[in-house]
Amino acid sequence: NAGVTQTPKFQVLKTGQSMTLQCAQDMNHNSMYWYRQDPGMGLRLIYYSASEGTTDKGEVPNGYNVSRLNKREFSLRLESAAPSQTSVYFCASISMRLAGSNEQFFGPGTRLTVL
Amino acid sequence: ELKVEQNPLFLSMQEGKNYTIYCNYSTTSDRLYWYRQDPGKSLESLFVLLSNGAVKQEGRLMASLDTKARLSTLHITAAVHDLSATYFCAVVETSGSRLTFGEGTQLTVNP
């Protein structure tokens, strides 16, 4: 099992450019999440998907869109990048079953800089 | 909206000492997570607490959950330098899927 994978690991964009961050998990988890972490700060929820076919806004959704392509994949898109979106982005997944493992797994992160 | 508060936010302690990190949350929850993050790294899952009175221990760390008080604690026993990291708690609301994090506690263990 690879767990949660994210691509790319690093990215530099110019203001106004667009890009998509990819996330995939191979643990058959139902729920997937996108967070951003700014220096010295906690994690803020951007969007989440409780199950395939559903997505919901988190605390800081403005400037982002998401797609839950299938059970495995959950992508985050920046349509017009702004310097305020410079951050480290983490994808995570969890099973949400009462039985079995309830552990949440995080991807390695994507370090995004917007100039 | 669910609020999760940790304290202290910064903790400097000597090796061999004991201390507790507190995590308070504002609405009912049926699961609480503790994570560790080293600088420049991703988050590592430490504990999942699923019921009132749940207690889990791993090495020098012990986590507990009191759902009635909406409080979880992470107790550090006889701290060692290797425990230096930032520790986060995160809470899922009852019957929900949204996972909300506390601000994190930056722990430094000094020799």
Please state, in angstroms and rounded to a whole number, the distance separating the CA atoms of residues B47 and B55. Answer: 9
Q: Tell me the nearest-neighbour CA distance from A41 into chain B, angstroms.
A: 6
For A13-61, the pLDDT digits (tens) are 999 999 999 999 998 888 899 999 998 778 999 999 988 889 999 999 9
Give chain B positions within 8 Å (CB) of A9: none
Return the pLDDT at A69.
Answer: 86
List C-alpha distances in Å: B75 to A47, A102, B23, B59, B78. 32, 22, 11, 11, 10
Average pLDDT of every residue of chain A: 91
DSSP string, A60-74: --TTEEEEE-SSSBE
**Helix-strand-coil percent breakdown of chain A, rounded to 5?**
5, 50, 50
Give chain A positions within 8 Å (CB) of B90: 43, 104
Q: Tell me the nearest-neighbour CA distance from A16 into chain B, angstroms.
A: 27
Cβ-defined contact of A45 to B33 (cutoff 8 Å): no
Specify the DSSP class assigned to residue B41: S
Return the pLDDT at A101.
Answer: 54
Tell me the average pLDDT across A91-101.
69
Q: Taking CA atoms, what residue in B is nearest to A95?
A: B97
Cβ-defined contact of A106 to B43 (cutoff 8 Å): yes
Return the pLDDT at A102.
Answer: 62
- The answer to whether the CB of A69 falls within 8 A of the CB of A54 is no
Cβ-defined contact of B42 to A56 (cutoff 8 Å): no
Return the pLDDT at B99.
Answer: 85
For B39, residues 6+ apart whose C-beta sits below 8 A from its C-beta are none
- The answer to whether the CB of B59 falls within 8 A of the CB of B67 is no
Tell me the average pLDDT across A95-112.
75
Tell me the average pLDDT across B45-59.
90
- DSSP 3-state of A83: helix
Average pLDDT of every residue of chain B: 92
List C-alpha distances in Å: A13 to A64, B1, B32, B51. 15, 33, 36, 44
Specify the DSSP class assigned to residue B25: E
- pLDDT for residue B53 is more than 90: no
Cβ-defined contact of A107 to B31 (cutoff 8 Å): no
